[in-house]
């Protein structure tokens, strides 16, 4: 009897975010008529897919024990790159952001791992660096691409009644989850995040693992930027400002520990949905935009505190 109870408690604790999510959806569906409309859900999905794909990549970096603050300005930069090349050729518009993303991820990862520097400070620097480059490309202006081509497929079209970008989020999430839980690469990244000295002694190339995590993060940002620029067919040098905090908030409230070593894509997706619904409700009730930042800040701090508490209890 007692064992059963313990099991129930541990399941509840493990899945507390999912339970909160279900509770929130139920409560708001009952209390707020504008929340349960199809239009609102479609709107919600638009926000969820862009931040969701970025957060999936961020999860990899966080599990490896680092943090990537540059995703916001990398998003803006790749957004611009995509539209700039799309003006010449649709194909280049899709490929170039992905190629450049690999280089950006490698740059961040190389500096963090090779010189053993705190990833937050390095990516704070690259945040300014890439934001400067993004604004330099168009001199701070907004540019628009060619509309009415197949370039708009991923952002605007539907497949079997569901927007294409939702499928992309699903594919990204499933692929990353498989990488994390079913491959040696995934297991190695978790080891590196848990204890990098031990991982190094065990023969894992820790630097390479972390760099790969950063590359995965940037490539995810490129995919998210493609969804966005395909939908808007315009690009702005500040399109992604603040996305880094959205992604970090989503990852952390999903339950992935900032200390590294633990976490899953599934949890992050729940975190993204939680954040999106909270913000959606604030918007529906006409709460001022600035409250969103306040809520995000509180969520980050609360999630960090809860994470540390839970971990300490487990360690004891």
Binding site for other proteins (CB under 8 A): 111, 115-118, 120-122, 124-133, 135-136, 139-140, 245, 248-249, 258, 288-298, 300-301, 304-305, 308
Q: How far apart are CA 41 and CA 230, in angstroms?
A: 20
Closest CB 117 distance from other proteins, rounded Å: 5
Burial zone of 49 (CB within 10 Å; 0-12 exposed, 13-18 middle, 19+ buried): buried
Closest CB 51 distance from other proteins, rounded Å: 15
Question: Do 111 and 103 touch, CB atoms closer than 8 A?
Answer: no
Q: How far apart are CA 64 and CA 196, in angstroms?
A: 9
User: Which residue, chain included where needed, has tokens 């935009």?
Assistant: 289
44/241 with CB nearer other proteins: 241
62/212 with CB nearer other proteins: 62
131/229 with CB nearer other proteins: 131
Residues 6+ apart with CB under 8 A from 305: none
Residues 6+ apart with CB under 8 A from 211: 105, 106, 109, 110, 112, 113
Closest CB 134 distance from other proteins, rounded Å: 8
At residue 11's C-alpha, the angle toward residues 49 and 252, to 5°, is 40
Question: Do 260 and 65 touch, CB atoms closer than 8 A?
Answer: yes
95/300 with CB nearer other proteins: 300
Residues 6+ apart with CB under 8 A from 29: 35, 36
Helix (H, G, I), strand (E, B) or coil at 26: helix
25/304 with CB nearer other proteins: 304
Closest CB 225 distance from other proteins, rounded Å: 19
Closest CB 142 distance from other proteins, rounded Å: 15
Closest CB 129 distance from other proteins, rounded Å: 3
45/310 with CB nearer other proteins: 310
115/160 with CB nearer other proteins: 115
Closest CA to 249 of 228, 268, 263, 229: 268
Closest CB 148 distance from other proteins, rounded Å: 32
Q: How far apart are CA 101 and CA 221, in angstroms?
A: 8
């Amino acid at each position: 009897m007692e064992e059963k109870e313990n099991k129930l408690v541990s399941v509840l604790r493990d899945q507390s975010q999912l339970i909160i999510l279900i509770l929130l959806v139920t409560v708001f569906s009952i209390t707020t008529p504008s929340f349960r409309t199809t239009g609102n859900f479609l709107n919600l999905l638009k926000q969820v897919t862009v931040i969701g794909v970025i957060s999936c990549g961020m999860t990899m970096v966080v599990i490896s024990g680092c943090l990537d603050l540059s995703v916001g300005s990398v998003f803006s930069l790749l957004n611009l790159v995509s539209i700039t090349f799309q003006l010449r050729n649709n194909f280049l518009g899709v490929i170039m952001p992905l190629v450049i993303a690999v280089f950006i991820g490698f740059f961040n990862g190389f500096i963090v791992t090779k010189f053993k520097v705190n990833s937050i400070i390095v990516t704070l620097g690259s945040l300014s660096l890439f934001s400067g480059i993004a604004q330099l490309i168009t001199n701070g202006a907004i540019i628009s691409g060619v509309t009415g081509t197949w370039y708009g497929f991923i952002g605007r079209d539907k497949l079997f009644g569901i927007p294409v970008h939702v499928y992309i989020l699903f594919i990204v999430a499933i692929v990353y989850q498989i990488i994390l839980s079913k491959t040696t690469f995934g297991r190695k990244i978790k080891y590196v995040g848990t204890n990098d000295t031990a991982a190094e002694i065990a023969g894992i190339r820790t630097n390479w693992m972390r760099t790969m995590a950063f590359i995965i993060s940037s490539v995810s940002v490129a995919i998210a930027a493609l969804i966005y620029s395909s939908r808007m067919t315009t690009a702005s040098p500040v399109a992604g400002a603040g996305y880094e905090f959205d992604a970090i908030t989503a990852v952390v409230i999903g339950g992935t520990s900032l200390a590294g070593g633990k976490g899953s894509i599934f949890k992050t997706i729940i975190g993204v949905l939680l954040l999106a619904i909270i913000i959606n409700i604030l918007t529906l009730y006409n709460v001022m935009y600035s409250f969103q930042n306040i809520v995000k800040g509180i969520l980050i701090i609360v999630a960090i505190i809860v994470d540390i508490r839970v971990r300490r209890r487990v360690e004891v």
